[in-house]
Chain A
């Protein structure tokens, strides 16, 4: 009995003491340089976004996970925390809020922020050193609290995903899972291969087509990102369609908006990559064929 009580007591205390531990040494090798981030860093909005992350760190971020080599509190373009701040500044300020492209930027920004909004309840951002060659980020809810983990491939030497555009798209994509979840809608991807999506894991979505200017029978604007309608009462030339977005769809439309409708100050690294990402996602992650293409096939 005494030995058992000692073990139980020890386990309880051990669990509590380890709850806030930071890992000893990051195992994800961070990139040392990329032109994209160098340019982003000196855009003015990165620093205010970084400051915002610091000032609200108690609610927005799991500080411990960013505080062992990930650069929390330091302005360092090679470190994940600054790279994430740069990505937030992209979501917030690299497009106009006017309705050019698929959706006004204010909607992507509000949806992309961690704070309570009309889209979703508050979320917490953390860094995860795992999945060195795996997924870029994941989102889940636990005891009613939302978490998004940004993972190694978004920040490390892996050359395909370590760029600002992909981070910005990831923010918008992951928060769409929360948005669907908070409105009682199915937020999960489907497992392929299915239809035109050849992936063998849960990374396939339907694309729910809508017009740039969609209107409902009552005259309301139906093209707003903030509109969900799981019905077929709004017709699409007689076919009927739902005013609805899947997670990869929001990421696709945002990537194309970023690539094609950015402010003129935005560097080529961001816009060319964002357009490439939009094309890549349209080709890769949809069960049905996406009925449009991002950009013109021109060099610049």
Chain B
């Protein structure tokens, strides 16, 4: 039996070899890869970070230079709006150069033709948005330009029936395991546009039209995400006052009133004030706190890895 099995195995081996060659199947051999030196810095600030030995299991180098990209200025004009180079420039600008973005937009916004060029690109049938980041930053530029003429095209953009952007759809047949699914980028753009519309509407030349479109979105838009954005932006631009809250509550659907008064987490926030407001919101809406089963505490060792040596 052993002899017959071995001979069968040899026949099988010849068969497999033929199949493997035919299919081009290869077994990859791991090769020793060389490391790559960091590119030459093109910025002008160099600092060193030192990792403190806090018992962290970080596999990276202990010291590395931190520097900023030296972004050459790009003006906002009809050409740079049309070819997308202005928005692309804004995308690459570092956070500490935000004032540079604002100054370039302020300068460009004094030219009506530039504003018209921006507004025209809210027509997604003519100028389709093909990149989520580009779309979000483009809308931010329109908001920062702060021109009343953008209100109408923004409103059209938010309410249009056709998708503002074509996103991937799932094939179905979801894989085994625990997964993360793509976001609705069309809705994300409408939310961002709603925030920008509200920001611009606060300076509408006709006081009778202040925030009317934002209020209309909060009342009538079919997307809950857009209504939530409109509610939050309305309150923000009205100073989060009690008067604003009372008026808004009287206008929107009763089921949406729960979205009024949520605290915002942002860069300069006051953590204590945030916690107070968060507690107050959950006080008012205890049904939003999920119930979990009582169980044993599980506490992980809280070793903080201090990877920031400071400036």
Interface residues on B, range: 35 or more
Q: Say whether B181 contacts A135, CB under 8 Å.
A: yes
In B217-261, the 8 Å CB interface with A consists of: 224-225, 228-229, 232-233, 236-237, 258-259
Query: B165 at interface (Cβ–Cβ under 8 A)?
Result: yes
Q: Which residue of chain B is the closest to A64 with respect to CB atoms?
A: B28
In A204-253, the 8 Å CB interface with B consists of: 206-209, 211-213, 224, 226-232, 236-242, 244, 247-248, 251
B278's partner among A9, A119, A291 (CB-CB below 8 A) is A291
A165 to B286, CA, bound (A): 32
Query: A78 at interface (Cβ–Cβ under 8 A)?
Result: no
A269's partner among B133, B271, B274 (CB-CB below 8 A) is B133
Q: Say whether A39 contacts B183, CB under 8 Å.
A: no
The stretch that binds A, out of B74-82, B96-104, B113-121, B205-213, is B96-104
Taking the nearest CB of chain B, how far is it from the CB of A63, in angstroms? 6
Q: Say whether A211 contacts B228, CB under 8 Å.
A: no
**Residue picked from B132, B232, B272, B304, most chain A C-beta under 10 Å:** B132
Q: Say whether A106 contacts B133, CB under 8 Å.
A: no
Query: Chain B contacts of A296 at CB under 8 A?
Result: 236, 264, 266
Query: Chain A contacts of B267 at CB under 8 A?
Result: 260-261
In B159-180, the 8 Å CB interface with A consists of: 165-180
Query: A193 at interface (Cβ–Cβ under 8 A)?
Result: no
Q: Say whether B12 contacts A7, CB under 8 Å.
A: yes
Query: B126 at interface (Cβ–Cβ under 8 A)?
Result: no
Q: Say whether B33 contacts A106, CB under 8 Å.
A: no
A2 to B5, CA, bound (A): 7
Taking the nearest CB of chain B, how far is it from the CB of A21, in angstroms? 4
Q: Which residue of chain A is the closest to B277 with respect to CB atoms?
A: A292
Would A170 and B308 be within 8 Å (CB), given that A49-B60, A261-B267 are in contact? no
Q: Say whether B65 contacts A44, CB under 8 Å.
A: yes
Taking the nearest CB of chain B, how far is it from the CB of A14, in angstroms? 5
Query: Chain A contacts of B94 at CB under 8 A?
Result: 264-268
B288's partner among A209, A242, A251 (CB-CB below 8 A) is A209
Taking the nearest CB of chain A, how far is it from the CB of B46, in angstroms? 10
Query: B83 at interface (Cβ–Cβ under 8 A)?
Result: no
A188's partner among B165, B178, B278 (CB-CB below 8 A) is B178
B181's partner among A201, A228, A294 (CB-CB below 8 A) is A201
Number of interface residues of A (CB under 8 A): 159
A22 to B30, CA, bound (A): 13
A133's partner among B102, B133, B171 (CB-CB below 8 A) is B171
Q: Say whether A300 contacts B4, CB under 8 Å.
A: no
Q: Say whether B271 contacts A213, CB under 8 Å.
A: yes
A244 to B272, CA, bound (A): 21
Taking the nearest CB of chain A, how far is it from the CB of B171, in angstroms? 5
Q: Say whether B182 contacts A136, CB under 8 Å.
A: yes
Would A13 and B184 be within 8 Å (CB), given that A2-B4, A92-B307 are in contact? no
Q: Say whether A133 contacts B283, CB under 8 Å.
A: no
A23 to B135, CA, bound (A): 34
Query: A86 at interface (Cβ–Cβ under 8 A)?
Result: no
In B254-311, the 8 Å CB interface with A consists of: 258-259, 262-267, 271-272, 274-275, 278-279, 281-283, 285-308
Query: A144 at interface (Cβ–Cβ under 8 A)?
Result: no
Bitwise, B125-154 to A at CB < 8 A (1) or not (0) is 000011111101100110110000000000
Bitwise, B3-32 to A at CB < 8 A (1) or not (0) is 011011101110110011000111110110
Q: Say whether B184 contacts A264, CB under 8 Å.
A: no
B167's partner among A8, A67, A160, A277 (CB-CB below 8 A) is A160
A39's partner among B12, B61, B91, B290 (CB-CB below 8 A) is B91
Bitwise, A185-203 to B at CB < 8 A (1) or not (0) is 1011100000010010111
**Residue picked from A19, A137, A298, most chain B C-beta under 10 Å:** A298
Bitwise, A96-132 to B at CB < 8 A (1) or not (0) is 1110011011110110010111110000000000111
Bitwise, A126-155 to B at CB < 8 A (1) or not (0) is 000011111111111000000101000100
Q: Say whether A159 contacts B288, CB under 8 Å.
A: no
Taking the nearest CB of chain A, how far is it from the CB of B248, in angstroms? 14
Bitwise, A1-16 to B at CB < 8 A (1) or not (0) is 1100111111111100
Would A279 and B27 be within 8 Å (CB), given that A106-B304, A174-B180, A263-B95 are in contact? no
- The 8 A-B residue pairs whose C-beta atoms are closest, nearest first, are A140-B177, A160-B185, A9-B12, A10-B12, A106-B305, A5-B8, A230-B295, A264-B96
| 18 contacts across the A-B interface (CB closer than 8 A) | A6-B9, A10-B13, A19-B27, A21-B25, A21-B27, A64-B28, A92-B60, A118-B303, A159-B131, A163-B133, A199-B181, A203-B180, A228-B300, A231-B295, A267-B95, A268-B92, A280-B225, A283-B224
